[in-house]
Amino acid sequence: MARTGLMALLPASVPDSDALRQALTHRSAGQCHNERLEYLGDSVLNFIIADRLYQVRPEAPEGELSRLRAALVNKDSLAVIARDQGMGELLSLGEGERKSGGHRRDSILADALEAVIGAVYVLTDFETTRDFVLKLYASRFASLPSAESLKDPKTRLQEWLQRRNLDIPDYEILEVSGKPHDQHFKAACHIPARDLSVKGEGSSRRRAEQAAAVKAMEALQAVEKNT
């Protein structure tokens, strides 16, 4: 494998190892796949990120640290990092996953990155793994977001309503379409106290509801501004 992208960041002994090949193998490609390494890598990653946040945000309360960690290690963030490191081209996928674009799918990329972290830990030691992870996250630690901005749209909307002594919103899934591995959701956010209903769409129930919450928040703030 060419020593570019991900390969350039790996410790010298890792790129030519069976463990790395396993880490980059999706279960659709055979029995020797990456799920066990993913399990290990997930735990190691969470600890490394938690430890680093504890050091760089010495005054932050537990809730803020938890939100920061969740934002850094969730599937979306992992997929972006994996894509930035060119991991899609390195994955071993079964024929069906290949044809359906599995090398671009967030869940597969995120799981593979966790598995690679697990492989580095198995092949080296904790200190080396920590250095590898912090290299992957260098730019993200250089520009950590504020705690308030990390609250998801549903939480921000609920807190906005509660500050005004209004009931929390109701969410409704209106439609689910697409194949099981590539679904699309449409959701509604209802706020009876303001006689408001808006819709949102996304690739999961959570994302569709969050999209609806964003629109609801925008509509409520616009009304409040003009009254």
CATH assignment of the domain containing 205 = 3.30.160.20
Specify whether 212 is located in the same domain as 161: yes
Residue with tokens 């680093």: 52
**Is the domain of 16 the same as that of 100?**
yes
Residue that finishes a domain, picked among 146, 169, 193: 146
What is the number of domains present in the chain?
2
Instruction: Please say which residue of 97, 130, 146 terminates a domain.
Output: 146
3 state DSSP class of 167: coil
Going by the DSSP 8-state scheme, the letter that residue 141 receives in this structure is H
Segment 44-64, tens digit of pLDDT: 999 999 999 999 999 999 988
How many angstroms separate the first and last alpha carbons of the chain? 62
104: helix, coil or strand? Answer: helix
Is residue 114 annotated as a catalytic residue, yes or no?
yes
Q: What is the predicted pLDDT for the residue at 4?
A: 66
Q: Looking at the structure, tell me whether residues 130 and 33 fall in a common domain.
A: yes
The residue from 114, 131, 152, 170 that is catalytic is: 114
9 CB-near residues (< 8 Å, 6+ apart): 85, 132, 135, 136
Say whether 182 counts as a known binding-site residue: no
Of 16, 18, 35, 42, catalytic: 42
**Co-location of 166 and 118 in the same domain:** no
Q: Tell whether residue 38 is among the known ligand binding residues.
A: yes
Q: Could you confirm whether 167 is annotated as catalytic? A: no
Does residue 1 belong to any structural domain of this protein? no
Nearest to 107 by CA among 28, 173, 18: 28
Domain termination site, one of 146, 172, 205: 146
Alpha-carbon gap, residue 111 to 94, rounded angstroms: 16
Q: How confident is the model at residue 211 (pLDDT cuts 50, 70, 90)?
A: very high
Range(s) of the domain holding residue 176: 153-225
Same domain, 206 and 187: yes
Q: What is the CATH number of the domain that holds 84?
A: 1.10.1520.10
Q: Are residues 116 and 182 in the same domain?
A: no
pLDDT of res. 79? 96
pLDDT for the residue 124: 96
- Are both 204 and 99 inside the same structural domain? no
201 is in an annotated binding site: no
Q: What is the pLDDT of residue 218?
A: 94
Same domain, 27 and 120: yes
